[in-house]
Each structure stands twice: as structure tokens, then as C-alpha cells.
Amino acid sequence: MKAVVAKRVERGTADLTEIKDLAQAAGYEVVGELTQTREEDAAYAFGEGKADELAALTAESGADTVIVDNRLGPYQTYNIGGKLPEGVEVVDRFTLILDIFGQRAQTRKAQLQVELAELRYELPRAEAKTSLATRDERPGFMGLGEYDQSRERDIKNQIAEIKRELDAIADKAETRREQRRESGFDLVALAGYTNAGKSTLMRRLAAELDVDENEDRHPDLETTAESEDRLFTTLGTTTRRADTGQRDVLLTDTVGFVSDLPHWLVESFESTLDSVYHADLVLLVVDASEDVEEMREKLVTCHDTLYERNEAPIVTVLNKIDRVDDEELAEKREALAALAPNPVAVSGLTGERVDALRDRIEDELPDWQFERLVLPLGDDTMSLVSWVHDHANVEREDYEGEQVTLEFEARPAIIERARAKASDLATVESV
């Protein structure tokens, strides 16, 4: 598939880098580019003269698709399409993103989220068709297609049904998270823009592949999390055991953020972001090789998304330091100090300074509690001792006479369970 990419901005110079990456991620070969700086035109988004130029470029390049890096209304889509060679499709930024999501959706949860986003995107267009056709009394007016007033109701009913199913999946995920915490795990989430290197960093930190956040098996768990240089490699969530030191940590990689996403699209993937919102610690991964202004813009967007609902501490990770020298890195640290006051700089690719990140994870996770148990010696006690070793950090284990003294640090939930198990042992002993 060949595509021409186009973008309009109201001021400055349009940057086509991300839309070209998105187009390539969707399987397109970009064969032409067009930009314009001006206020939005109600009929064509671009000026009509620029729309004519776009049509000529499309014909000359032999493209079968025009991808516009703006949000187009139904009338603008129709008007631009009317100028293009026959058979050429017009796709706006959000239609393209939904197409990529649809290609990458492997699990039931991801498929539902894509379907929900598609319906939310279609709803205002269905409303526009109904409103216009009702007013004009001509079905399909302006080439918008046959209208059916029941279509609006159908879309709303489908949205409600999908949300109910996603809520049920979210409830199961919350139960799973609590079970993991009760088993002694700290939950750490990777967040950040797509292509920041989250999956590569996960591979560097991961110790095992035995935990899956999704109800269905996620393809990233086959051997190692994907780390290809493309957008939306991770659409669902991938959870793996991380090697950080004393703590038992589960690290979750989530779908990457993309700039300039509308609220309805972010909402559609809210259940995926729950793994970030409900983590004990969030690692906000940023590509340190990008321009400092781009890094700042992405940090601001991520903070707006995360701080709205997230209560866990957030540690900024400046990734890909193998691509920058020490002087440039120091300058970027200083420039971004207000947004990232104490970042950790690493290279997920080479492993440079990843040990410092492991130490920081241990430092930032919620404090463990100390506990000392004196237990009667016996088979059941040895089972409890083994369980504590699996779920806590044992500092002392002494055997004297008919008693075992166990001193350890663990999450509060583990302390409570250990006390309950110890109480049961005491009750059995007294009987």
C-alpha cells in the first residue's frame, strides 16, 4: 500500500515524523508528503488550493491512500476525497491509529478496546449523517452514505455492552493484582510514549516469563517481549517477574502513549492503563535521544495522564543513553529538572546503568515491615518457614531447643498472613 501523508498546523512548521512512523507501522509505504501552515478550513481542513495540490501529488505518486495527520470531520473527509483520483481512500490520524490497534489486538481485552474506540469514533459521524439527512430529507446527502436513525441507538447499545464486558475483565484483573500482592509481589508498571524503549528495558530487567496479565496468553510472552523499532509493538499488557534484588517484583509493560490523542480514544483503553494506575511504582520511560522540547512535551502529556488517577510514585527513566554523550545528557537533565527532578539514565539496549535503576526501584517501592516470630518446632512450622522464605526477606533464622525464631521483612499483607499462620500453629500446639 502506498500513501501520501499530509498535515496542517496553525503556526510553525508541521512535523511529519510521527505520522510517517504510524503509516509504516500500519503497513504503508510513504511516497509523498505535504504540509500547510494556516487556520483550519471548514470544508477541506486545508485550503482548497492546497487540497488541489494534494490531489495532484497523489496522482503523480500513484498512492492509493491519503493519510492526514489531523482529525477530519465527515464533510472534510468527503470533500478531500472528491478531489482525489478515483479509488483513493482518505484516512485521518485517528482512523490510522485504530487500524494499527486492530492489527495488533491479540487478546479479547485488546479486541474489545479497539472495537470500543471504533464505535466511539463512529458515533458522532452517525449522528451527523442522521441530523443532516433528516434536515435535508435526502438519504445519503453529500455522499455520506445511507442513514438510519436506529444506527445511533445500535452504536450506543454496543458501547454499553462492551463497557460491561471490559468492566468484568477489569474486576478479574484487580482480583489478580490483589492476589499477587498477597503473595508478596510488588507491582511496577512501565509507562511512556511508544518507541521509548519500554519493551527493551523490560527484557533487560526481567528474570522470568511465568506471569501473564491477560486472561489469554499474550504473544510477547512466547520467549521475550518484543522490542522492534515500530509503534505499538505492545498493545496489550505483558507482565513478567523482574530481577531487582531483595524484592519480588512483577513488571508490566503497557501500550505506549501517542501525542495528540482525543479523550475518547484514551478512555477506550482505560482498562489497559489500570495496570499503571494501580501499580506500586511507575517507571516513566523517555527516549533521551530525542530533542529536549519533544521530551518536555511528552513528559507533560504523560504527567497529565498519570497524575490524574495514579497515586504511586513515578520515576522518570531516561532511556537510550547509548545514543547521546555525557554532555548532551547533562544538558537535558538540567533542562527537564522541573518535570523530572531525579531521573535514572539507562540504556535498555546495552544494559548501561540498569543496576542503578534496579536499586532505585527497591528504594521507591513501599516500605516493608519487620516481623519476629517464635514458633514451635515441627513439620507445619517448617512449611511456614519455607513459605516466609518465598514471600519475604528473611534476616534471621535460629533453632534453639523446641523453638524456631524467624525475623524477616515483608509487605504488610504478607506480615498479616504470616501472623495468622503462626497463630494457627500455636492453636494446634496448645490442643
Judgement on whether residues 349 and 229 belong to the same structural domain of the protein: yes
3-class SS at 232?
A: coil
- Signed CA dihedral, 47, 48, 53, 54: sign only: positive
- Signed CA dihedral, 371, 372, 377, 382: sign only: positive
274 annotated among ligand-binding-site residues? no
Which is nearest to 315 in space by CA: 351, 286, 347?
A: 286
Residue 123 in contact with residue 156, Cβ under 8 Å? yes
Q: Please report which residue ranges of 68-141 form alpha helices under DSSP H.
A: 74-83, 93-104, 108-136
- Signed CA dihedral, 68, 74, 80, 84: sign only: positive
CA 278 vs. chain centroid, Å, equals 13
Q: What is the mean pLDDT of the chain?
A: 81
Cell 533464622 belongs to residue? 397
- Summarised one tens digit per residue, pLDDT across range 151-172 is 888 998 999 999 898 888 878 8
Judgement on whether residues 48 and 94 belong to the same structural domain of the protein: yes
- Asked if the model's pLDDT at residue 229 lies above 80, the reply is no
End position of a domain, from candidates 127, 142, 170: 170
326 annotated among ligand-binding-site residues? no
Sheet holding 281-287, edge to edge: 238-243, 248-253, 185-192, 281-287, 314-319, 344-345
DSSP 79-93: HHHHHSPTT-EEEEH
157 lies in which domain range?
106-170
Assigned domain for 201 exists? yes
3-class SS at 48?
A: helix
Strand partners, 190: 253, 283
Judgement on whether residues 128 and 248 belong to the same structural domain of the protein: no
Strand partners, 92: 68
- Summarised one tens digit per residue, pLDDT across range 346-403 is 999 999 999 999 999 989 988 888 999 998 888 889 999 998 888 888 899 999 888 8
The pTM score is 0.65
Domain count, the chain: 4
- Asked if the model's pLDDT at residue 322 lies above 90, the reply is yes
Judgement on whether residues 52 and 128 belong to the same structural domain of the protein: no
320 annotated among ligand-binding-site residues? yes
Judgement on whether residues 50 and 110 belong to the same structural domain of the protein: no
Measured CA to CA, the distance from residue 204 to residue 206 in angstroms comes to 6
- Asked if the model's pLDDT at residue 284 lies above 60, the reply is yes
255 annotated among ligand-binding-site residues? yes
348 annotated among ligand-binding-site residues? yes
192 annotated among ligand-binding-site residues? yes
Assigned domain for 180 exists? no
Judgement on whether residues 225 and 317 belong to the same structural domain of the protein: yes
Binning pLDDT at 50, 70 and 90, where does residue 228 land?
A: very low
